[in-house]
A and B are shown apart, each in its own frame.
Chain A
Amino acid sequence: MMLTFLLALAPLTAQETFLKDVMPILNKAGCTSGPCHGAAKGKNGFKLSLRGYDPEFDYEALLYDISGRRFNRADPARSLMLAKPTMQVPHGGAMRFDATSPYYKTILNWLSSGAPFGSPEKDKVVRLEVKPAELAYNGPGSSQTVTTVAHYGDGSTRDVTREANISSNDLDVAEVSETGVKALRTGEAALLVRYEGKFVTVPLTVLNPKAGFAWNALPQHNYIDRLIDAKLQRVKILPSPPATDEEFLRRVSLDLTGLSPTAKEIRDFLAEPGDARAKRSRLIDRLMQRPSYVDRWAVKWGDLLQNSRKYIGDKSTWGFREWIRDSIAMNKPYDQMVRELITSRGSAYENPAANYFRVTRDPKPSMEKTSQVFLGVRMVCAQCHDHPFEQWTQNQYYEMAAFFAAVGLKPGYETGDEVLYQRRDDYEIKHPKTGRPVAPKYLVASVGAPALSTEGDRREKLAAWMTSKTNPFFAKAIVNRVWSYFFGKGIIDPVDDIRASNPPSNEALLAALTKDFTDHGFDLKHLMRTIVNSRAYQASIATNEWNAGDRINFSHQSPRRLSAEQLMDSVEAATGSRPKFTEVPEDTLAQQLPDPHVGKEGFLDLFGRPQRESACECERRADLSLPQALNLVNGSDIAQAIADPKGRIAKLITEGASDRRMVEEMYLATLSRLPDAKEYDQAVTYLKGVEGRAGRAQDLMWALLNSKAFLFNR
């Protein structure tokens, strides 16, 4: 009876449905936004799903909540859902649209014709089409308009330009306004166009408007340079030539081993005969064999795996550190290393890889960490709602978490130990909406992934899927991450936020690196060796008129502030003072520390050493702050190191070194190069004289330590 009645009312024009017509209004008018009713707890007792990701929920909220309070079917125009946004009654969220607007009419028509939900097959957007598909500007200043067309399940289309949301991922390059997309400066950006849960990214290029660009081919060391040059040529950027041997030596030593070169190493390298490229390659191989190479990368992996006694206790921290160091020292294939972590079991004292799960004890954080660290995918938003800018849904969050559901931890035989075991009952992850157990499912399908069944250890299957060469994220994520350690920026950046709306700056380069990496059996050393042998890595930080503005195409190197550990170890190496950490053996370097417990709240933390509270790369801060500057200028750490009675300056003074030698030694120890003629003159003049010579030498050392050339890897 109801149905015939509703059919009788159906107007001749197309029927408005909630899915196709009303939901976009709620999103555009801001009703479903985070600060308003889309908030986790809603607003003033009325909750909608964030940005309308769950139309069923929103439909029920509008029509059914509080016994249908917001819907007046007998007199639709009196419905609270129309009175509120038009401010016919007071509304804390102010007026969203007025009673003469098309939005109002659409909602009123919809309510008057029985408020149908619509058909998920026909009325949902299946695809967005953005015209043009790519934006190119011949220079800053001009604007272009973008049209968005939604394609629906029933084959129909609609121009949704007005309701679609467009944002630019680089507001310095392009800005979006009501009138169009305006180019602001030379460079590249990506536009993200969103509508009703679908999104499209639109690449945008603003070319340098200057005339007279002429490509100047530099030597290409390997495929990296070929792929970078191809892109540079296309966007009219000229790469910088390689850095000097001294610059390269310091850069590559810091990057591979965490330490600056010693004076002897510098002199030897500069004196080494032969072709510059071959010489640099030999150096790279030597550096990768050093114990300090292990120190350096153990810090990185300690960060990512959150090795800290806060979570796993004193003894396990050392055990986990050893496991990490062994893996690096033997250059364990990356897929194997990850498999060992993901499938770890047993006593954490006997198998330190199990500490991976002692840090994040519960399935959900374990899943979030695993996807962020090893797949570069951030799932955390999807715990409460579908990801606003990505394809990930709340269902997928729980399907992935289900892989870790059976991970159990119980006390081991020894004090402080814990045993990771497979739980046998009542471990299933339940979906928060339905309260029903969720079966594990891979995030995306990939060729050759093992079929999922209810038997066996789910983690084995997850590990097999993850570490497969065909996994679309696994190898790409680590390649991109490692790249960022040598350039200060990933090809996709941030490195642990891989998503369609965050495209790589050079897709071909990332693909080639990924393929090379998997072709070489997930060999991390091979990957690093390839990167540091490239001309792009070895390029100078000096820029030319065509690449000065480039920040994403690796046309020149960029100075990177030394990490906390690098800085501390470099200060000590330069001044000849010795590290003074408690609880660790004498002369333990900053980069050899097991966890952030040692040296807590000191120099290292000030300079951004992460507390290992999260697996996010962002926890390590590389900024320069005022407290850091004050510490360098006035702090006791630097002052004491310089004035160390057994330190470099004291030694040079007591040896009776000449002014010239003192200057030379100090430059080599700090800036890893010899002073130029002018620097010699100035420094020697300053040191001259007998009275207070040590004090003046200390001043000079202090000035060098405070110079940008020392504080940055360049």
Chain B
Amino acid sequence: MIVCQYPGMLTSFLIFAAFAQTYTADVLPVLRKQCQGCHQPSVKQGNLDLTTFAGLAKGGNRGPAIPLLIDYVTGKRQPRMPLGAEPLPEEQIAALRRWIEAGGKDDSPAEAVPSSAPQLYRQLPLINALAYSPDGSLIAVSGYREVLLHKADGSGIAGRLAGQADRIQSILFTSDGKTLIAAGGAPARSGEVQVWDVASRKLLRAVEVSNDTVFGASLSPDGAKVAVGCADNSLRVIDVATGKEERKIPHHENWVMATVFGVNGKRLVSVSRDRAAKLTDSTNGQFIENVNLLRGELSAVARHPIRDFVVVGGEERVPYYYMMDRPRVMKIADDTTLIRKLEMQNGVILALAFSPDGKRIAVAGAADEVRLYDPETGDRTAALRGHKAGIYAVTFSPDSRQIATGGFDGSVRIYDAVSGALKTEFLPVPLERRASR
């Protein structure tokens, strides 16, 4: 896209490249192929990130990396790099050396900004997030690099909020319905939290968070803070009004997949692939205790609307319903906070939702049906059928009477939350016919 818009720049760039070594043409490809496997944000061997010029310039444990590069690849400094692999070919080393001798300049182009033109779809995007507006008039659906606002009855698109992030993993409305928060990112590339003004469809701010998509965002009850899970194992709290990252909480040992605040907003439950549901004091970031007994990897959490009870689920396929407060003195590895476990599902659990009236829990995941349960008894009350593959998003309407679902097959389906009957089904995005080959 960029290239087409600025052909002149490309030409001059190529001419320049013929005479001198440049970072983008000569250095980055070598680093990408030979070094980035270990020196990347999620591994960061030697505390070094070679995926960006900034990371290279900043360096790692041994200081700025540019002056050290040649010594390491030639073996003058040990261990020789790339570790455990063949040494770099002579011409690559020579190119690196010439680039450094010429001053080691950065010529990375500015980040490509996607055009604001509406996204064209030839195939349906997967649906990862759904949310009803608090007045029940809109349903927000994740698209590709956008959030689509649909009329809640499925009659059409009411707005499109085009942003940077490839995937939108979570959509949240503030309780006044004025602000929409979308969180996601591009897998293994970048993470982002977007704050939108719903009325004007304008992006108020976008915050870059971590180097991967952020997962399972949740809003504090007062709407002031948003918590997200990250692939760098951290849980982060961001101020909605300023976009400032307030806290980076490091208690988990694997990706944090979902979060939820407690009723009074002072505590936070996060679930992770490390199998733990951890309770954190959101006012100071301190770890309080594990909510659950470790079993399988966890991917989803939902809280009762007015009580500090959470349901968690994941790899083990069984939803566990826990209270956040401990009735008795804690013992190691006890499970006294477990209220009940629900029946085993037919697939890994990926999404959970509590109805606003507190009377239903919705469980969805790799199986092609959503099941509803009565939290008081644990009985299944309905099974919602119609999806053709995994279901990644479930949400109840504010009046608790409807439930919207979406997932791999790309269709939004709306069911009656009592009977489980399918009420309507629609495609969230307009599809283009493919141009003839």
Contacts and interface: CB of A to CB of B under 8 A. Distances in A.
Interface of A: 1-2, 5, 8-9, 11-12, 45, 60, 63-64, 66-76, 78, 80, 83-84, 87, 89-95, 112, 114
B51 A73 contact: no
Contacts of A45: 254-255, 273
B128 A87 contact: no
Given A9-B123, A74-B143, A89-B189, 13 more contacts: A2-B124, A5-B431, A64-B390, A67-B169, A69-B187, A70-B187, A72-B166, A74-B119, A75-B144, A87-B32, A90-B41, A90-B43, A90-B188
B51 A74 contact: no
B128 to A, nearest CB: 5
Interface residues of B, number: 50
Contacts of A67: 126, 128, 169, 350-351, 390, 392, 407
A95 B36 CA distance: 10
Contact of A73 (B36, B123, B254, B427): B123
Given A92-B37, A92-B43, A94-B33, A64 B408 contact: yes
A74 B255 contact: no
B404 to A, nearest CB: 16
Most buried by A among B123, B189, B392: B123
B308 to A, nearest CB: 27
Contact of A94 (B37, B167, B392): B37
B327 to A, nearest CB: 33
B189 A68 contact: no
The winner among B36, B389, B409, B437 for most chain A CB atoms within 10 A is B36
B38 interface: yes
A462 to B, nearest CB: 32
Contact of B409 (A2, A66, A89, A112): A2
Interface string B12-42: 0000000000000000000011001110111
Overall SS of chain A's interface? loop
Q: Which 6 A-B pairs have the closest CB atoms?
A: A90-B40, A74-B144, A74-B125, A67-B392, A89-B188, A80-B187
Nearest to B43: A92
Interface string B178-195: 000000001111000000
B238 to A, nearest CB: 22
A67 B33 CA distance: 29
Nearest to B35: A90
B411 interface: yes
Nearest to A76: B123
Contacts of A95: 32-33
A12 B436 CA distance: 11
A436 to B, nearest CB: 13
Contact of A8 (B36, B144, B429, B433): B433
B164 to A, nearest CB: 13
B328 interface: no
Nearest to A64: B390
Given A2-B411, A63-B408, A74 B123 contact: yes
A67 B429 CA distance: 19
A117 to B, nearest CB: 11
A68 B143 contact: no
B410 interface: yes
A68 B188 contact: no
Contact of B390 (A12, A68, A73, A83): A68
20 contacts: A1-B427, A5-B431, A8-B433, A9-B123, A11-B437, A12-B437, A64-B390, A67-B128, A67-B350, A67-B351, A67-B407, A68-B390, A68-B408, A72-B125, A73-B126, A83-B188, A87-B36, A92-B37, A94-B37, A95-B32
Contacts of B188: 80, 83-84, 89-90
Given A64-B366, A90-B188, A73 B38 contact: no
A74 B38 CA distance: 30
Interface string B138-172: 00000110000000000000000000001101000
B166 A75 contact: yes
